[in-house]
């Protein structure tokens, strides 16, 4: 008995030490080890629906869910214990780009998970439960189980669950919807896009910000050592760049406009970025033409700013109509743009396909964007969120019924379509596709 007690004490000391080291690395605790300060109850419930409720109805729901927490959740010896029932424990705070540390310990037959931005979920299984092998339990915990079948990250890359009675440790990093997961020190999901469970049909990405929820699903589960580190926009971009797939090559040297043509007098190189000079504009484009490609770049939009990415531009005419498309670059939330057509906001294929809104950073901050052009399909990913996925060959309705004669072009230049604002572009790279 004495040896068992010593082992238990040693384990507790090591856990406390690792948690202290995490705090030194910029994490802050989400659980104080004593009570549920900073947490409330919320079950599997659409957060958009909750926000849309009248205030009195919403407050009544929260009171009901908090009562459920008091009935099914408790704190014992610095750990949160749930009896397998009740509303989920949910952070009061919402988070955008972050890294979460959390330990859990569960029992045979349990099935639980961690909701990110109020969306399910990082899966927790009993990996020995043969009744759930058909659901993937035998593959282990840590996958984004609610992603579509066959998508990256739905299943963990390896089985890393510890035996029952032992604590497991997650590190979960999410930049936009790009999610990486480590379980017990091994990465099991790498930079996968987590799908929005609540709006899959419309391909709307995860909410820009959201809460973390600890699921309860029929079996006792314990949680401890819960801490979070939030990333600045610069840190988030650096992670997205680090995780970017290989094969990109720079098409801007950061010093001058070598390799670029068109309205070169209306653009300048400023602090390593291509900047449209104020009150000018026009189309600046690569000398080289591209067919299928991915482009990665950073974009800074001043307050009220307007520009565009010219895709398969023929070298003359209006990129939005004579080229395949102009992907709008816009300070979408500026009041002067409040009444635009949805197909005119940032990331949209101008006048043809609307991008999801709400994923731009504040004016004057750098955004990280990747665009894939493959045949007639265009994908736009902004700050780790897929905001557009469209096939232009299937577009039949156009803004103001205006024709887009260039949308079926199979190759052309890549460029910028200036509209008189000092929009900046830097770290511009391209990867040609087969």
**Cβ contact 307:276 at 8 Å:** yes
**Does 416 sit behind a cis peptide bond, omega within 30 degrees of 0 on the bond before it?**
no
Q: Taking residues 256-271, what's their average pLDDT?
A: 98
- Architecture of the domain made up of 15-231: Sandwich (2.60)
Q: How far apart are CA 113 and CA 11, in angstroms?
A: 24
At residue 272, φ and ψ (nearest 5 deg) are 80, 10
Superfamily of domain 239-432: Exo-inulinase; domain 1 (2.60.120.560)
Strand partners, 353: 349
The DSSP symbol for 351 reads T
Q: Say if 15-231 and 239-432 have the same CATH topology.
A: yes
CA distance 168 to 185: 10
Q: SS3 string of 381-422? A: EECCEEEEEEEHHHCCCCHHHCCCCCCCCCCEEEEEEECCCC
Asked if pLDDT for residue 353 goes beyond 70, the answer is yes
Confidence of residue 306 (pLDDT cuts 50, 70, 90): very high
Q: Using DSSP, how many helices (H) and how many strands (E) does the chain show?
A: 4, 26
First to last CA, the chain: 66
Dist CA 144 CA 114 (whole Å): 10
13 or 376: which leads in pLDDT: 376
Q: What pLDDT score does 13 carry?
A: 39
- b/e burial code for range 10-48 (CB count within 10 A of at least 16 → b): eeeeebeeebeebeeeebeebbeeeebeebbbbeebebe
pLDDT at residue 286 in the model: 98
pTM of the model: 0.93
Tens digit of pLDDT for each residue in 167-198? 999 999 999 999 999 999 999 999 999 999 99
pLDDT band at 137 (very low <50, low <70, confident <90, very high): confident
Q: Are 253 and 427 in contact (CB under 8 A)?
A: no
Ranges of each domain in the chain: 15-231, 239-432
Q: Tell me, what's the pLDDT at 19?
A: 53
């Amino acid at each position: 008995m004495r040896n068992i007690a010593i082992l238990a004490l040693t384990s507790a000391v090591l856990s406390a030490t690792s948690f202290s080291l995490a705090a030194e690395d910029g994490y802050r605790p989400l659980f104080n080890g004593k009570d549920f300060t900073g947490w409330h109850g919320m079950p599997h419930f659409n957060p958009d629906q909750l926000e849309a409720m009248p205030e009195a109805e919403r407050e009544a729901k929260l009171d009901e869910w908090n009562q459920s927490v008091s009935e099914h959740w408790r704190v014992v010896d610095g750990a949160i214990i749930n009896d397998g029932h009740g509303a989920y424990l949910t952070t009061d705070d919402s988070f955008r780009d972050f890294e979460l540390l959390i330990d859990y310990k569960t029992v045979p037959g349990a099935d639980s998970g961690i909701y990110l931005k109020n969306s399910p979920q990082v899966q927790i299984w009993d990996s020995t439960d043969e009744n759930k092998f058909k659901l993937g339990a035998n593959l282990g915990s840590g996958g984004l189980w609610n992603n579509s079948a066959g998508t990256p990250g739905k299943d963990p890359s390896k089985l890393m669950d510890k035996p029952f009675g032992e604590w497991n440790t997650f590190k979960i990093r999410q930049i936009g919807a790009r999610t990486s997961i480590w379980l017990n020190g091994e990465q099991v999901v790498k930079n996968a896009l987590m799908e929005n469970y609540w709006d899959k049909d419309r391909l709307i990405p995860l909410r820009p910000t959201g809460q973390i929820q600890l699921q309860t699903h029929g079996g006792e589960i314990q949680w401890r050592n819960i801490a979070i580190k939030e990333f600045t926009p610069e840190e988030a971009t650096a992670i997205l760049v680090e995780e970017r797939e290989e094969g990109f090559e720079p098409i801007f040297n950061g010093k001058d406009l070598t390799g670029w043509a068109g309205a070169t007098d209306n653009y300048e190189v400023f602090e390593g970025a291509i900047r449209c000079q104020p009150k000018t504009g026009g189309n600046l484009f690569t000398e080289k033409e591209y067919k299928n490609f991915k482009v990665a770049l950073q974009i800074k939009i001043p307050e009220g700013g307007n520009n565009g990415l010219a895709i398969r531009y023929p070298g003359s005419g209006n990129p939005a109509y004579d080229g395949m498309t102009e992907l709008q670059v816009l300070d979408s939330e500026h009041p002067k743009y409040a009444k635009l057509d949805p197909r005119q906001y940032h990331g949209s294929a101008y006048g043809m396909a609307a991008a999801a809104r709400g994923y731009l950073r504040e004016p004057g901050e750098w955004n990280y964007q990747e665009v894939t052009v493959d045949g007639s399909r265009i994908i736009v990913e902004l700050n780790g969120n897929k905001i557009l996925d469209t096939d232009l060959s299937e577009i039949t309705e156009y803004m103001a019924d205006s024709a887009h004669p260039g949308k079926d072009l199979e190759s052309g230049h890549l460029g910028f379509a200036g509209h008189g604002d000092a929009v900046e572009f830097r770290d511009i790279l391209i990867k040609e596709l087969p």
